[in-house]
A and B are shown apart, each in its own frame.
Chain A
């Protein structure tokens, strides 16, 4: 206590009241607010996942009724996608790091940033309350005309919840775009930006362009249901497939909202623990942008089984292959970065390795699904479920964990305990594969998704999967425990425990309230890692800080 009073105040201890947190406009504190809220969401969604996996242990539907099961996976999907994964990296790590990495004192619009958190909280609360009290059984995809005309469950409120949280994501994206354009420190040209920033820039573009479309689409669903507009109701002359087009016009780009920031994290972690300059900086930066752009033209691959025109389907298929190219470019560049680097295996790096392996599987199976003929066979089976979990859980959440561990010392000023962290990373990796790999097999063998009973020949896959899910769930509880533990008992981190480059490592941990006492002037290239030894970088830090 006494030592912390002698030191300069940091953003955590500068003020103590509850109001100083709830009314803060400091991007770092807002990041913490988001961190707490999305963690809560993650465990709510996780609880539902547990219920789903328990039900699927046996072929009979013995734990819950079909209706309850439908509500469980809908709640799981909505919470995980809209209330956890979409805000996860951008709203926590992004919020915390974007200003620090570009040498700014805050985001361009601090009050808008706080507003976005409140909007998120309102939307998420409405969504959760509605799905818990009445329940919603449409699946997270809200397909019409079931959602508009037939579902007897509570569609309107969760839809409004999704509508509202959409705006928080738009506000975050807008804030990042303006900040990255207008607030960079002197000398910090575009090609000196960390790749984390490029990734968030690309993500923000997607957020700003795609999210309004889902907003208007769910609004139409609400109007259809509430006022009988019939826009998506075939009985009223409407076209339900139009909904699918509009929905996926957002939701495919939205998968890039989830994965691009993850790629940004990996691009920071890999060079740091390889002590090597990133390979192919320009290519990685450009691939983020091209993913953002091409990602807008592939939505039709979710509609291969609908009456969309055959030629459109062929075009969507080809473009889906094209969108995999920039992802592959990144993966090769990360591998090349590690080549001949002096690699060390701290927890963030282990998570990053996990990301690369799992993302690879997820991405390659995406290509299977993007192939017109094959998709007709596996559409709406567990193959699809396994595919997107490999990317969203195996990819995005792994990277989120990598980032959380990597910047934990910066955020809290404390080191997490390395041993448990490494163990957790391995447990999560093993549990994850055991959960989701069998689902590829089950799906390929024809097990459809979204049913709570199934023919007995699929049981073996489901038993394996449920066993894996238990390990995975345990794995996720570990970081919750040791990270909280480290807040009190962790070793003091110091400004730069990893010997990393980047402006955020040149200031104290935790950072002072206004980040930089004097605006830094950047006259060096990014990822300036001395190939030789990390201590060299450590020594270089105080000098650089005094520039």
Chain B
């Protein structure tokens, strides 16, 4: 009991207020993230409507199988993250640690596949700093890849940060910091991870699936 009381910071009236503030703060933060990606997505929208044909062309250079695979991996990681939060709520310490590790592994798989894709683009000459593709309308194709790398790179940076945060959560779990009354950090990590996952759910069709039908 005394240990739990000590988690109440002095400026909050009670734990409920502290918990409400923390989760609300996280949601506000996620709103700023939406605006952050939003600026880049707006750029995407502008160029895609200006050069629809070229974007469809360029999109075909992306490997749809790897993209699909990664999408499944990431959705899987959201599931394991949800299970981690669930285990925290039930105070199942080992399950919590296990699910965190699993989520980190899935995240790393995603990043591994992504870097393989990046390396491939480098060799094909479709990398902004190393662009020697000379197919039709190469200039505007390059624009597609600039936006592609900016968006996926930013997304990957968010994943790396997420995996780092999970490492901290894992340490806290192993040090017995959480119990069924207090696991707010795990819950906030979950919110963040689901958000990062959701960004990809938008990026995948926007980047990989342009004019793939028929």
Chain A contacts to B: CB under 8 angstroms: 104-110, 170, 174-175, 177-179, 181-183, 208-213, 215-217, 220, 223, 227-231, 236-239, 242, 246, 249, 514, 519
> In the bound complex, how far is the Cα of B25 from the Cα of A514, in angstroms?
22
| Minimum CB distance partner of A174 in chain B | B28
Main secondary structure of the interface of A (DSSP, over half): helix
Complex: how many Å from CA A175 to CA B17? 14
22 CB < 8 A contacts A-B: A106-B11, A108-B25, A110-B11, A179-B21, A182-B17, A183-B12, A208-B31, A208-B32, A210-B35, A212-B36, A213-B35, A216-B38, A216-B40, A216-B154, A220-B40, A229-B146, A229-B149, A231-B43, A236-B142, A236-B143, A237-B51, A519-B13
Q: Give the top 6 A-B pairs by smallest Cβ distance, nearest first.
A: A216-B39, A105-B11, A212-B36, A106-B11, A212-B35, A229-B146
Q: Which residue of A lies closest to B149 (CB)?
A: A229
Q: How far is the CA of A42 from the CA of B149 in the complex (A)?
A: 39
Decide if B32 touches A170 in the complex (CB within 8 Å).
yes
Q: Which residues of chain A are near B214, meaning CB under 8 Å?
A: none
A366 CB to closest chain B CB (Å) equals: 25
Q: Select which of B36, B142, B143 is within 8 A of A216 by beta carbon.
A: B36
Residues of chain B contacted by A210 (CB below 8 angstroms): 35
Residues of chain B contacted by A182 (CB below 8 angstroms): 17, 20-21, 24
B136: A residues at CB distance < 8 A: none
Residues of A within 8 Å of B154, CB to CB, are 216
Find the A residue at minimum CB distance from B50: A239
Total number of B residues with any Cβ neighbor in A under 8 Å? 38
Total A-B residue contacts, Cβ distance less than 8 Å: 110
Binding site secondary structure of chain B: helix
Are B36 and A215 in contact, with the CB atoms below 8 A? yes
List 13 additional A-B contacts (Cβ < 8 Å) besides A213-B39, A238-B47. A182-B17, A183-B17, A208-B28, A209-B35, A215-B36, A216-B36, A216-B38, A216-B154, A228-B128, A230-B142, A230-B146, A236-B143, A236-B146
Out of B10, B25, B47, B147, which one reaches A174, CB within 8 Å? B25
Q: Which residues of B contact A239 (CB under 8 A)?
A: 46-47, 50
Task: Verify if B29 is at the interface (C-beta below 8 Å from A).
Answer: yes
Contacts of A220 in B (CB 8 A): 39-40, 43, 150
Contact residue among A217, A229, A237, A519 (Cβ-Cβ distance under 8 Å from B128): A229
Which residues from B are CB-within-8-Å of A110? Answer: 9, 11
Expressed in whole angstroms, the Cα–Cα distance for A221 and B192 within the complex equals: 27
How far apart are A265's CB and chain B's nearest CB, in angstroms? Answer: 24
On whether A237 and B38 interact (CB within 8 A), knowing A242-B46, A519-B13, the answer reads no
Are B28 and A177 in contact, with the CB atoms below 8 A? yes
Q: Contact between A183 and B21 (Cβ–Cβ < 8 Å)? A: yes
**Which of chain B's residues have a CB closer than 8 A to the CB of A106?**
10-11
Q: Is B135 interfacial (CB-CB < 8 Å)?
A: no
Contact B13 A231 (CB under 8 A): no
Kindly list chain B residues whose C-beta atoms are within 8 Å of the C-beta of A183: 11-12, 17, 21
* Contacts A208-B28, A236-B142 given; does A227 touch B129 at CB 8 Å: yes
The answer to the question of B33 belonging to the interface, with a C-beta cut-off of 8 Å to chain A, is yes
- Can you name the residue of chain A whose Cβ is closest to the Cβ of B37? A216
Q: Indicate with 1 or 0, residue by residue over B135-152, a CB within 8 angstroms of chain A CB atoms.
A: 000011011001101100
B150 touches A211 (CB 8 A): no
Q: Which of B1-45 contact A (CB under 8 A)?
A: 9-13, 17, 20-21, 24-25, 28-29, 31-33, 35-40, 42-43
- For A230, the chain B residues whose CB sits under 8 A away are 128, 142-143, 146
Which residues of chain A have C-beta atoms less than 8 A from B39's C-beta?
212-213, 215-217, 220, 246, 249
Contacts of A228 in B (CB 8 A): 128-129
Determine the residue in chain B with the shortest Cβ distance to A246.
B39
Which single member of B10, B128, B146 contacts A105 (CB below 8 Å)? B10
- In the bound complex, how far is the Cα of B150 from the Cα of A242, in angstroms? 16
Would you call A104 and B11 a contact (CB within 8 A)?
A: yes
Q: Are B147 and A231 in contact (CB under 8 A)?
A: yes
A249 to B51, CA, bound (A): 23
CB distance from B151 to the nearest CB of A (A): 10
Chain B residues whose CB sits within 8 angstroms of the CB of A211 once the complex forms: 32, 35
Chain B nearest CB, measured from A110 CB (Å): 7
Kindly report which residue of chain A lies nearest to residue B29, judged by CB atoms. A174
User: Whole-angstrom distance between the alpha carbons of A104 and B12 in the complex?
Assistant: 8
- Bound complex: CA of A514 vs CA of B12, how far in Å? 12
Docked Cα-Cα span, A60 to B21, in Å, equals 59
Which residues of chain B are near A231, meaning CB under 8 Å?
43, 143, 146-147, 150
Q: How far is the CA of A242 from the CA of B24 in the complex (A)?
A: 33
* Contact partners of A209 in chain B: CB under 8 A: 31-32, 35
Which of A104, A179, A183 gathers the greatest number of chain B CB atoms within 10 Å? A183
- Of A178, A213, A242, which contacts B28 at CB under 8 A? A178
Using Cβ atoms and an 8 Å threshold, which residues of chain A touch B28?
A: 174, 177-178, 208
In the bound complex, do residue A242 and residue B43 qualify as a contact, i.e. CB atoms below 8 Å apart?
yes
Q: Are B128 and A178 in contact (CB under 8 A)?
A: no
